């Protein structure tokens, strides 16, 4: 019988092949390879959707409770955001070389988690709440926006450097540094309100579950640190007029903080959110 783990394995290979296709697309500058890469991306997203649905049928609950499941959910959202962007702006499909590579790495990292982080376990009482759906979905939509902005921020640094040198390179295929800077801002502008809402919903849920809105649990504290980093991004951009390299660095540092919040805190600083 087909189970969710089998589908996740298929998903891993689809995203891996798609990532390599994007690399060859950039290196060889052949549109046909780019089309194959994008078709594989869409197929991967459909398989990603099927994996979440099968997981939901197996567990009888929302398929994003433990670290493994939320990694798959985050990947699904990131790829969905990329597909939407690429359909509206076909020239931006080339960004798949970074974004789909991130998706592949996320699925690979999830697959390497110890089994106890992947296993289907009964929900603890604190998680048996509709607040779980609201809190996780809003927060991860925000993280997906930050992840895409992170990839675009890295590309911006390379592209801006190439434009300053004025030499032909494989980066010629990418959008201009100005467009990348604008896309970086837009994805963070999408992600930030969702993360803010996710933190507020989490605080309300905590009050119901644990009797207090905020307990300075490591996960909560790092959520606040992440929020301040991105708030600093907007302050710099909107008040001080920062653009380009400064904001690209901010988006990269911000998402590295998200990775630590998501992975590092779970393993290094366990607390009330040790299950996530």
Q: What are the pLDDT digits (tens) for 26-54?
A: 888 888 999 999 999 999 999 999 999 99
Question: What local confidence, expressed as pLDDT, does residue 3 receive?
Answer: 80
Tens of pLDDT, residue by residue over 95-110, are 899 999 999 999 998 8
Q: How many helices (H) and strands (E) does the chain have?
A: 10, 0
Question: What local confidence, expressed as pLDDT, does residue 123 receive?
Answer: 73
* Global pTM value: 0.89
**DSSP helix/strand/coil, 213:** coil
| Residue whose C-alpha is closest to residue 155's, from 174, 142, 140 | 174
| Residue whose C-alpha is closest to residue 78's, from 98, 50, 56, 63 | 98
Span 106-127, mean pLDDT? Answer: 80
Tens of pLDDT, residue by residue over 48-104, are 999 999 999 988 888 877 888 889 999 999 999 999 999 988 888 888 999 999 999
Tens of pLDDT, residue by residue over 151-168, are 999 999 999 998 888 777
Paired tokens of 182: 């604008």
Paired tokens of 64: 């994003």
CA triplet 225, 197, 68: central angle to 5 degrees? 70
Span 155-182, mean pLDDT? Answer: 87
| φ, ψ (nearest 5 deg) of residue 263 | -105, -50
**Alpha-carbon gap, residue 206 to 131, rounded angstroms:** 9
How long, in residues, is the chain? 276
Span 243-264, mean pLDDT? Answer: 91
């Amino acid at each position: 019988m087909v189970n969710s783990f089998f589908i996740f394995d298929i998903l891993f290979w689809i995203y891996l092949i798609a990532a390599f296709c994007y690399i060859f697309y950039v290196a060889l500058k052949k549109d046909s390879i780019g089309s194959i890469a994008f078709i594989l991306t869409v197929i991967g997203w459909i398989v990603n959707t099927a994996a979440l649905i099968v997981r939901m049928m197996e567990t009888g609950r929302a398929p994003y409770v433990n670290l493994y499941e939320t990694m798959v959910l985050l990947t699904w959202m990131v790829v969905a955001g990329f597909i939407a962007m690429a359909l509206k702006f076909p020239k931006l499909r080339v960004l798949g070389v970074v974004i789909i590579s991130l998706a592949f790495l996320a699925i690979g990292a999830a697959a390497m988690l110890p089994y106890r982080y992947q296993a289907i376990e009964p929900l603890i009482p604190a998680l048996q709440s509709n607040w779980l759906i609201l809190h996780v979905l809003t927060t991860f939509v925000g993280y997906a926006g930050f992840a895409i902005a992170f990839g675009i921020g890295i590309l911006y640094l390379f592209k801006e450097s190439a434009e300053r040198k004025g030499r032909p390179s494989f980066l010629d295929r990418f959008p201009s540094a100005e467009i990348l800077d604008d896309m970086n801002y837009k994805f963070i502008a999408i992600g930030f309100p969702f993360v803010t809402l996710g933190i507020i919903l989490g605080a309300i849920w905590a009050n119901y579950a644990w009797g207090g809105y905020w307990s300075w649990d490591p996960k909560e504290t790092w959520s606040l640190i992440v929020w301040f980093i991105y708030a600093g991004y907007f302050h710099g951009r909107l008040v001080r007029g920062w653009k380009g390299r400064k904001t690209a660095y901010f988006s990269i540092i911000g998402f590295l903080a998200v990775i630590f919040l998501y992975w590092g805190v779970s393993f290094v600083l366990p607390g009330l959110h040790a299950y996530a």
